[in-house]
Amino acid sequence: MDFNIFMGDVVETARREIKEAGYEEMTTPEEVDEVLSKEGTTLVMVNSTCGCAGGVARPAAAGAIHYDKRPDQLVTVFAGQDREATERAREFFEGYPPSSPSFALLKDGKILTMVERHEIEGHSPVEVVSKLQKAFDEYCEEV
């Protein structure tokens, strides 16, 4: 099988999974600026094609939001695919190195906390859901 065809399927599956979970995809720096400058809390899922994204991060992203408290906005950028959008989003994650997959929780465009790759890789989706929901408890309002 042609590598690019195979990777196209992997990328499309990863995009579809996170969108079906309820996250809005940001593919340009302009979209990132528009969305992340809004008032309120925003969870950014930095998606990727690695195994820990598919096996842990995306399932955790889907599961974490079924909770009494959650962010006002759920968005995603795709590392390695939508490079400019991802780079622009990472500018909002001040104090944190690039990490994918990862989750960034912002309020009014300012970083509150992150769940970085080292907190995802080697962990179960349930453990990551717990980390995200702990952050929701601290920073988000009831829905």
Q: Are 115 and 56 in contact (CB under 8 A)?
A: no
Each residue's pLDDT tens digit, 39-66: 999 999 999 988 888 899 999 999 999 9
- Amino acid 129: pLDDT: 98
- Fold of the domain built from segment(s) 3-139: Glutaredoxin (3.40.30)
pTM: 0.94
Taking the C-alpha atoms of residue 57 and residue 118, their distance in angstroms, rounded to an integer, is 11
For residue range 94-109, list pLDDT tens digits in order: 999 999 999 999 999 9
Active site residues: 50, 52
pLDDT in tens, 73-129: 999 999 989 999 999 999 999 999 999 999 999 999 999 999 999 999 999 999 999
Distance CA 59, CA 134 (A): 17
Q: What pLDDT, on a 0 to 100 scale, did the predictor assign at position 49?
A: 87
